[in-house]
Amino acid sequence: MAAPPVSKAAVLTAWMPAMLAGIVSAAVLFAVAELAAAFFGPAASPFGSVGAAVVELSPPWLTEFAISTFATADKLVLFISMGIGATILAAGIGVLALRNWTAGALAVAALGVGMVVCVLTRAGAVPADAIPTALGTAVGLFCLRWLIRLLPGPAAPAAGAGADSDAATQDSDQGRRTFLATAGLMAGAAVVMGIAAGAVSAARNGARQVREALGLPAPARPAKPLPEGVQAPVDGAIPFVTPNAQFYRIDTALFVPSVDPADWQLRVHGLVEEDFSIGFQDLLAADLEESYTTLTCVSNEVGGGLAGNARWLGYPLRELLARARPLAEADMVLSTSIDGFTASTPLAVLTDARNALLAIGMNGEPLPLEHGFPVRMVVPGLYGYVSATKWVVDLEVTRFADKTAYWTSRGWSDHGPIKTASRIDVPRAGARVAAGRTAFAGTAWAQHRGISKVQVQLDDGDWADAKLAAEASVDTWRQWYVVRDDVSAGQHRLRVRAWDGDGKLQTETPAPPAPDGASGWHSIEFTAD
């Protein structure tokens, strides 16, 4: 007998319970695994580990797109996409399990194994970290089995239609209610376990509590006080020192690593005459130095906000490396974070007179967790991806010819000096200002070379010198401003360009961030009336 034609909509409706069974089971799987993982350690989280693997395996263009498009929301976007992907996959597995239980169960098992592989290949993972994912997969599979059993078999949706006796209808109503109640209970349990997982991992985050109780020692060499007038006297100019809470954050860490200073150790080794390790107490007891340095991300677009200036407290890397005595053939230091991120920094910039620091303090506070607590690197003059390793635990003195780092093995330039850049902060692009007397202001940077001149151009007028605010040091950004009396009503364009301390004009030709930093002159449009 030929099956009656079945519409797509009817098939979907018939599959709905199976899809729901798949999704609810997946929710239980992740909730159980994440709750158990909260007791194991950050590497044990299956969701986090799959996310880390996605980041790790993503083609460079995708990672770069994500960072430049979503900037600091890139992690949220990743998790939401993963959630959507997991939901679709779980729905599919539910249908598969209904039609053929063995195939469905094998699919779940295969995904479980895949997640365990992600967990075990993660930086800092130990074999026991596989337990939460294995446990979650087992419980999820059990729930799926249970829910599928409550469903009628995979009969064609329209079969038997019209032939239902009253008893059969009642039966199937009863069955539907049992199915929905069971699925609802499981979903509720998943939500409760998910909330508990969040609470447990927050409570077990020792680093946060230790950080709050930590007092920083006074620097042996305090920062040179900021000269008067580093701040442009214009409303809306950004703060010269970026408050920690406003400081941009860029990293590949899906969950901020939690490092207890009591367990923190830094190993210094490689092409050195002496290798050694230091602990956090050694740093607290050392002669610390404090200085202002402006950090910049290589992914910053022309006019973008991925730059920040802070007062960093730390131990000079040149002194740490002097103790290790690098061999003559060495030309690079590969720094590694506890989460596996690496950066390759020219040895020369870590051993010259600049204030390259193993930093523990930011603007008078211990480093915020997301900025590398307890210890990070800060190197004036280089983009963060080749220098600013957060949660740093290992320094290997080596050679550019022998090793590559996280981003340099993904096609980014291996030396990352910061390009001269200038930005208009006032007015904001698209703003409306009063015609007549109008102030323009902004920021320019060329770390370790300094800024010697800034010019602006209004519409097609002549380029005119801006006033430069005071310079704190060549390692920090510098503010500029211009007050004009003659801004006519209407639509305008403003452009800016800067010269570095060597008298070199910043590149006019636009270039995207990859592979060694964006270039081009920033311009904005605004309306005066």
Ligand X SMILES: Nc1nc2c(c(=O)[nH]1)N[C@H]1C(S)=C(S)[C@@H](COP(=O)(O)O)O[C@H]1N2
Contacting positions for ligand X (CB under 6 A): 247-253, 295, 297, 308, 337, 339, 341, 371, 384-385, 388-391
Q: How far is the CB of 473 from ligand X (least distance, A)?
A: 19
491: number of CA atoms within 13 Å, CB side? 2
Residue 416 CB, nearest approach to Mo ion (Å): 9
**Identity of the residue, 22 or 308, whose beta carbon is nearer to ligand X in the bound complex:** 308
Q: How far is the CB of 101 from Mo ion (least distance, A)?
A: 48
**Dihedral of the alpha carbons of 404, 512, 249, 449, in degrees to the nearest 10:** 80
Q: Is the preceding peptide bond at 427 cis, omega within 30 degrees of 0?
A: yes
Report helix, strand or coil for 347.
Answer: helix
**Rounded Cα–Cα distance for residues 498 and 521 (Å):** 9
Whole-number Å distance between alpha carbons of 519 and 245: 28
Q: Which is nearer to Mo ion, 250 or 313 (CB)?
A: 250
Task: Assess 297 for contact with Mo ion (CB under 5 A).
Answer: yes
Q: Return the number of the residue (72 or 121) whose C-beta is nearest ligand X.
A: 72
8 A C-beta contact, residue 484 and residue 440: yes
392 close to 305: Cβ distance less than 8 angstroms: no
CB of 301 to ligand X, least distance (A): 13
Residue 247 touches which member of ligand X, Mo ion, none, C-beta under 5-8 Å by kind:
ligand X
Cβ of residue 362: shortest distance to ligand X, in angstroms? 8
E-strand spans in 208-284? 265-270, 276-279
211 or 371: CB nearest ligand X? 371
Residues 354, 294 contacting (CB under 8 angstroms): no
Smallest distance from the beta carbon of 295 to Mo ion, in angstroms?
Answer: 9
For Mo ion, the closer of residues 278 and 514 by Cβ is 514
Instruction: Please name which of 354, 250, 252, 229 lies closest in space to residue 304, comparing C-alpha atoms.
Output: 250
248 makes contact with Mo ion (CB under 5 A): no
Return the HEC string of 329-346.
CCCEEEEEECCCCEEEEE
Helix, strand, or coil here: 488? Answer: coil
For residue 216 the two structure tokens come to 């920083």
Q: How far is the CB of 367 from ligand X (least distance, A)?
A: 8
Residue nearest to Mo ion (CB): 297
Q: Which stretch binds Mo ion (CB under 5 A): 139-147, 212-220, 292-300, 420-428?
A: 292-300
Q: Which of 473, 403, 405, 483 is nearest to 445 (CA)?
A: 473
The label of the residue with tokens 């729930």 reads 143
Nearer to Mo ion, 172 or 246 (CB): 246
Q: Does 418 bind Mo ion (CB under 5 A)?
A: no
SS3 label, residue 386: helix
> Is the Cβ of residue 67 or residue 130 nearer to ligand X in the bound state?
67
- Choose from Mo ion, ligand X, none: what does 137 bind? Cβ within 5-8 Å by kind: none
* Shortest distance (Å) from residue 10 CB to ligand X: 49
- Paired strand residues for 343: 335
Alpha-carbon gap, residue 73 to 94, rounded angstroms: 32
- Residue (17 or 303) nearer to ligand X, CB: 303
339 binds, among Mo ion, ligand X, none (CB under 5 to 8 A by kind): ligand X
| Phi, psi at 284, each rounded to 5° | -60, -35
Which three-class secondary structure state does DSSP give residue 182?
helix
Nearer to ligand X, 30 or 385 (CB): 385
Measured from the CB atom, the residue of 62 and 88 that comes closer to ligand X is: 62
48 binds Mo ion (CB under 5 A): no
Select 270 or 384, whichever has its Cβ closest to ligand X: 384
Element (H, E) at 85: helix 74-99
Residue 308 Cβ vs ligand X, minimum distance, rounded to whole Å: 6
Q: Is the peptide bond before 374 cis (omega within 30 degrees of 0)?
A: yes
* Binding region for Mo ion (CB under 5 A) out of 269-277, 291-299, 441-449, 455-463: 291-299
| Binding partner of 499, given Mo ion, ligand X, none, CB within 5-8 angstroms per partner class | none
Which parts of 94-113 interact with Mo ion (CB under 5 A)? none
CB of 247 to Mo ion, least distance (A): 13
CB of 341 to ligand X, least distance (A): 3
Quote the Cα angle for 305-307-309, to 5°: 130
Out of 47, 247, 280, 385, the residue judged to bind Mo ion by CB under 5 A: 385
Residue among 346 and 384 whose Cβ is closer to Mo ion: 384
CB 338 within 8 A of CB 280: no
- List of long-range contacts for 59-68, beta carbons under 8 Å, 24+ apart: 60/410, 60/411, 60/412, 60/514, 63/410, 64/299, 64/513, 64/514, 67/250, 67/299, 68/299, 68/301, 68/513
HSE toward the beta carbon, residue 274, CA cutoff 13 A: 9
- Minimum gap (Å) between residue 389 Cβ and ligand X: 5
What's the one-letter identity of residue 158? A
Binding at 389: pick from Mo ion, ligand X, none (beta carbon under 5-8 Å per type): ligand X
Number of residues that bind Mo ion (CB under 5 A): 4
Candidate list 250, 254, 259, 458; residue touching Mo ion; CB under 5 A: 250
Judged by CB under 5 A, which stretch of 203-211, 250-258, 270-278, 471-479 contacts Mo ion? 250-258
Which of 40, 243, 239 lies closest to 122, judged by CA?
40
By beta-carbon distance, which residue lies closest to ligand X?
Answer: 384
Applying CB under 5 A, the residues found at the interface with Mo ion are 250, 297, 384-385
